[in-house]
């Protein structure tokens, strides 16, 4: 959550969307949740029997490029990175027979200096077997069947350690297997928060932040607020957010955060929410990390979201919440000017804090290149406390337990501090705007399910050629007409329509095609098409693409062109780039017909061009080239297919 004031202009107060006859306010509700409290966690055999730690697969320490990515500023607080495991990594695991006669498979994974690890599973299909991730004390799992979303792909919950064990116990009478029925694609290496990573402070929050536990009138509201961790585009982030109650207190775990935090189904499916990361009492010693906090089961679904120009909100549906949490109420009327307002949040990913301020005049601002219109955001000037990166998405309350906004932006100084900023003004996406997009869910309106006739569509793309489109039927049990909406959860999925209606007698259909230009590399891809119908739970059609590229496309270029000789001195570079996603080798090279093949490795450092990679030969020296066009010729062979290629690059000397 960072703000750069590039443009600011005053606007009038936005009108409330609450009509004269509409009940605008919903009060909070407490969740007993007795069924969750009764659950008993099953321990993995290796822990139960005290087995020695298995052989470890160790990754290298984070390199300079990874450290730079981790510390890079941004609107979302970055805390970790996805680290791909080599294809041979699982070979370090092995089978063993326990003293109880059970056969189990185990492997250990170590990522140096990590404070927490999550494991990305794919092709997961263990039936009635169990898979755990643990460090001998903390346990994530067990995971069964096809994983959290019944599609074979998911991220485990976090284990706060630099080393974890993955343990698989097949179901009884399972035939003996050479390899476990899943793949470990990657891990998330969780470091300290980005601020803490730079300053090496135990508590990264700034000095003026207020302990939320010191304000008893806000105690119940505190339990509606959670610290969330999630993966997006290969990086791990922190944000904040709050549970929202439905009008009828159904206790469906709808969770409000910022759209710039969670804006895709893929990111939502990695969300982990921590509810009690806070001091035990006013002045009490806060927890050292979220490890001991009550948490929800990892994974969620994206219901609705909007980018900053449209109000910056995201409503997700969690899997569950612990007993004792509060489902916050809400008000669809904007608070009047100078209304006292309160924020509860996790600044810089730290434990729970509280801030007090009041509503001030609306402004339109530029937030890191995106316009936040004043009529969609509430401006809050703080009297006590502040917000920081990591507070993004946290709720703004007009009274204990009554949400009127979610945090988008605030100012941060170049040294990462906030407490010396006066006046400190933050922008919250108006709940009045959010409600207009999610009211079916919060009002819990009756709805009928719309489901796909098949659970999965599989495509194969070879050498960037578009595969044939496929059609799937959508069905419902309702005898009346049901309106549905579709959302493609990846840019490479194209839908023939985004909405429609159907009934039990008149099913609908949608045609799905893929855009080959969206795939930069060969490999497996998977995403979903989400199906919405009123407030019914979202349904999913999994879409997979096996992308095969066995033919390179080498682009040869020479810069500068023309080459201007300085007396007898000249300097230029040759660049060979693959744009197709297939690795290849340069086997021959000529200049104006003279064979220079023996110079390939010396000039370029290698004869191999990686998929979507480039090799460069920087050349300089003395001697006069003939003026005019000169010709470089290159020959090569693709590694996967053995296909040959030939390219010519022309350069002019002056």
SS (H, E, C) 556-616: EEEECCCECCECCEEEEEEEEEECCCCCEEEEEEEECCEECHHHHHHHHCCCEECCCCEEE
Residues 6+ apart with CB under 8 A from 65: none
pLDDT confidence of residue 212: 97
Average pLDDT over residues 275-290: 92
Is residue 209 located within the same domain as residue 348?
Answer: yes
pLDDT band (50, 70, 90) for residue 182 = very high
Average pLDDT over residues 527-552: 94
Is residue 530 located within the same domain as residue 582?
Answer: no
pLDDT, greater one: 273 or 653: 273
Q: Would you say residue 68 has pLDDT above 70? A: yes
In a domain, 40, yes or no: no
In a domain, 257, yes or no: yes
Q: What is the mean pLDDT of the chain?
A: 91
Is residue 301 located within the same domain as residue 438?
Answer: yes
d(CA 274, CA 288): 14
d(CA 429, CA 392): 11
In a domain, 388, yes or no: yes
Is residue 261 located within the same domain as residue 390?
Answer: yes
For 214-242, how does the pLDDT look when each residue is reduced to its tens digit (9 = 90+)? 999 999 999 999 999 999 999 999 999 99
3-state secondary structure of 282: coil
Strands 584-591 and 608-609: antiparallel
Q: Would you say residue 192 has pLDDT above 70? A: no
- The alpha carbon of 485 is separated from its chain's Cα centroid by a whole number of angstroms, namely 23
- The alpha carbon of 141 is separated from its chain's Cα centroid by a whole number of angstroms, namely 21
Q: Would you say residue 6 has pLDDT above 50? A: no
Total domains, the chain: 4
In a domain, 2, yes or no: no
In a domain, 562, yes or no: yes
pLDDT confidence of residue 504: 96
How many C-alpha atoms does 601 have within 13 Å on its Cβ side?
Answer: 1
pLDDT confidence of residue 252: 96
Is residue 167 located within the same domain as residue 211?
Answer: no
Percent of the chain residues past pLDDT 70, beyond the cut: 94
In a domain, 1, yes or no: no
* Helix (H) or strand (E) run with residue 106 in it: strand 103-110
Q: Of 492, 521, 548, which residue sits at a domain end?
A: 548
Is residue 436 located within the same domain as residue 418?
Answer: yes
* Helix (H) or strand (E) run with residue 269 in it: none
In a domain, 289, yes or no: yes
- Are 483 and 446 contacting, i.e. CB atoms less than 8 angstroms apart? no
Is residue 462 located within the same domain as residue 578?
Answer: no
Average pLDDT over residues 397-420: 95
Is residue 373 located within the same domain as residue 258?
Answer: yes
Q: Would you say residue 339 has pLDDT above 70? A: yes
pLDDT band (50, 70, 90) for residue 201 = low
Give the Cα-Cα-Cα angle 200, 158, 220 (nearest 5 degrees): 85
Question: Token pair of 340, please?
Answer: 């006292």
Is residue 438 located within the same domain as residue 457?
Answer: no
3-state secondary structure of 216: helix
CA distances from 193 to 77, 272, 434, 609 (A): 7, 16, 29, 37
d(CA 152, CA 125): 6
User: Per residue in 552-565, is it b (16+ CB within 10 Å) or e — as a string?
Assistant: bbbebebeeeebeb
pLDDT confidence of residue 581: 83
Is residue 180 located within the same domain as residue 226?
Answer: no
pLDDT confidence of residue 4: 40
- Are 259 and 267 contacting, i.e. CB atoms less than 8 angstroms apart? no
pLDDT band (50, 70, 90) for residue 22 = low
CATH number at residue 161: 2.60.120
pLDDT band (50, 70, 90) for residue 58 = very high
Residues 6+ apart with CB under 8 A from 245: 26, 27, 28, 29, 251, 327, 328, 329, 330, 442
Question: Token pair of 148, please?
Answer: 């959290």
pLDDT confidence of residue 13: 36
3-state secondary structure of 242: strand
Preceding amide of 142 cis, omega within 30: yes
Question: Token pair of 324, please?
Answer: 């004792």
Domain range holding 170?
45-190
pLDDT confidence of residue 538: 96
Is residue 433 located within the same domain as residue 575?
Answer: no
Q: Would you say residue 203 has pLDDT above 90? A: no
Q: Of 392, 419, 442, which residue sits at a domain end?
A: 442
CATH number at residue 503: 2.60.40.10
CATH number at residue 398: 2.40.10.120
pLDDT confidence of residue 75: 84
CATH number at residue 631: 2.60.40
- Are 124 and 156 contacting, i.e. CB atoms less than 8 angstroms apart? no
pLDDT band (50, 70, 90) for residue 40 = low
Q: Would you say residue 20 has pLDDT above 80? A: no
Q: What is the pTM of this model?
A: 0.85
Q: Which of 19-28, 277-286, 581-590 has the lowest mean pLDDT?
A: 19-28
CA distances from 535 to 243, 256, 450 (A): 17, 16, 11
In a domain, 3, yes or no: no
DSSP sequence for 364-386:
EEEETTEEE-GGGEEEEEEEE--
Q: Select from 404, 401, 412 the least CA-distant residue to 379.
A: 404
pLDDT band (50, 70, 90) for residue 134 = very high
Question: Token pair of 357, please?
Answer: 């301020």
Residue tagged 């250990």 (tokens): 108
Is residue 179 located within the same domain as residue 201?
Answer: no
Q: Of 141, 164, 190, which residue sits at a domain end?
A: 190
How many angstroms separate the first and last alpha carbons of the chain? Answer: 53
pLDDT confidence of residue 202: 67
CA distances from 549 to 459, 462, 492, 521 (A): 14, 6, 17, 8
For 565-599, how does the pLDDT look when each residue is reduced to its tens digit (9 = 90+)? 877 788 899 999 998 888 999 999 999 999 999 99
């Amino acid at each position: 959550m960072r703000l750069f004031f590039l443009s600011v202009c005053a606007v009038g107060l936005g009108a409330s969307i609450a009509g004269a006859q509409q009940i605008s306010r919903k009060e909070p509700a407490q969740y007993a949740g007795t069924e969750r409290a009764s659950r008993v966690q099953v321990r993995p055999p290796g822990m139960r029997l005290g087995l020695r730690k298995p052989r470890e697969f160790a990754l290298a320490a984070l390199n300079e490029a990874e450290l730079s990515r981790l510390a890079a500023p941004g609107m979302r607080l970055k805390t970790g990175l996805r680290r791909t495991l080599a294809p041979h990594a699982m070979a370090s695991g092995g089978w063993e027979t326990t003293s109880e006669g059970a056969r189990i498979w185990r492997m250990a994974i170590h990522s140096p200096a990590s404070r927490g690890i999550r494991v990305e599973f794919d092709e997961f299909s263990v039936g009635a077997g169990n898979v755990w991730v643990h460090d001998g004390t903390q346990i994530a799992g067990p995971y069964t069947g096809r994983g959290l979303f019944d599609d074979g792909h998911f991220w485990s919950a976090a284990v706060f350690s630099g080393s974890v064990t993955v343990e698989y116990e097949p179901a009884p009478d399972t035939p003996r297997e050479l390899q476990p029925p899943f793949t470990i694609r990657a891990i998330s290496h969780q470091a300290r928060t980005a601020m803490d990573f730079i300053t090496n402070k135990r508590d990264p929050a700034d000095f003026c932040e207020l302990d939320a536990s010191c304000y008893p009138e806000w105690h119940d509201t505190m339990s509606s607020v959670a610290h969330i961790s999630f993966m997006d585009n290969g990086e791990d982030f922190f944000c904040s957010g709050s549970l929202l109650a439905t009008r009828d207190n159904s206790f469906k775990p709808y969770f409000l955060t910022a759209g710039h935090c969670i804006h895709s189904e893929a990111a939502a499916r990695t969300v982990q929410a921590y509810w009690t990361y806070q001091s035990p009492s006013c002045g009490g010693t806060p927890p050292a990390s979220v490890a001991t906090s009550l948490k929800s089961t990892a994974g969620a679904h994206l219901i609705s979201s909007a980018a900053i120009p449209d109000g910056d909100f995201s409503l997700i549906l969690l899997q569950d919440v612990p007993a004792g949490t509060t489902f916050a109420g809400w008000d669809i009327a904007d608070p009047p000017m100078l209304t006292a307002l309160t924020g509860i949040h996790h600044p810089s990913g730290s434990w729970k804090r509280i801030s007090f301020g009041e509503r001030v005049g609306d402004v339109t601002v530029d937030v890191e290149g995106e316009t936040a219109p004043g009529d969609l955001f509430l401006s809050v000037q703080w009297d006590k406390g502040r917000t920081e990166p990591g507070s993004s998405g946290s709720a703004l309350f007009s009274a204990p337990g009554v949400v009127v906004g979610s945090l988008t932006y605030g100012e941060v100084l170049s040294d990462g501090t906030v407490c010396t900023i006066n006046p400190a003004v933050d922008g919250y996406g108006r709940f009045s705007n959010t409600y207009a997009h999610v009211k079916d869910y919060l009002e819990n309106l009756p709805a009928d399910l719309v489901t796909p006739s098949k659970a999965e569509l599989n495509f194969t793309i070879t050498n960037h050629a578009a595969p044939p489109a496929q059609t799937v039927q959508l069905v419902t049990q309702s005898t009346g007409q049901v309106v549905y909406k579709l959302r493609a959860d990846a840019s490479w999925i194209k839908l023939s329509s985004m909405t429609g209606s159907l009934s039990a007698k008149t099913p609908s259909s949608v045609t799905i095609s893929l855009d080959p230009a969206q795939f930069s590399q060969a490999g497996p891809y998977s995403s979903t098409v989400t199906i919405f119908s009123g407030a019914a739970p979202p349904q999913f059609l999994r879409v997979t693409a096996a992308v095969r590229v066995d033919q390179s496309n080498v682009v040869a270029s020479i810069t500068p062109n023309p080459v201007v000789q300085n007396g007898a001195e000249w300097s230029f570079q040759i660049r060979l780039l693959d744009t197709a996603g297939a690795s290849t080798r340069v086997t021959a090279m000529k200049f104006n017909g003279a064979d220079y093949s023996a110079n390939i490795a010396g000039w370029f450092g290698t004869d191999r061009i990686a998929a979507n990679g480039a090799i460069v030969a920087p050349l300089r020296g003395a001697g006069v080239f003939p003026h005019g066009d000169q010709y470089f010729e290159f020959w090569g062979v693709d590694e996967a297919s053995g296909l040959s290629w030939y390219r010519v690059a022309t350069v002019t000397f002056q």
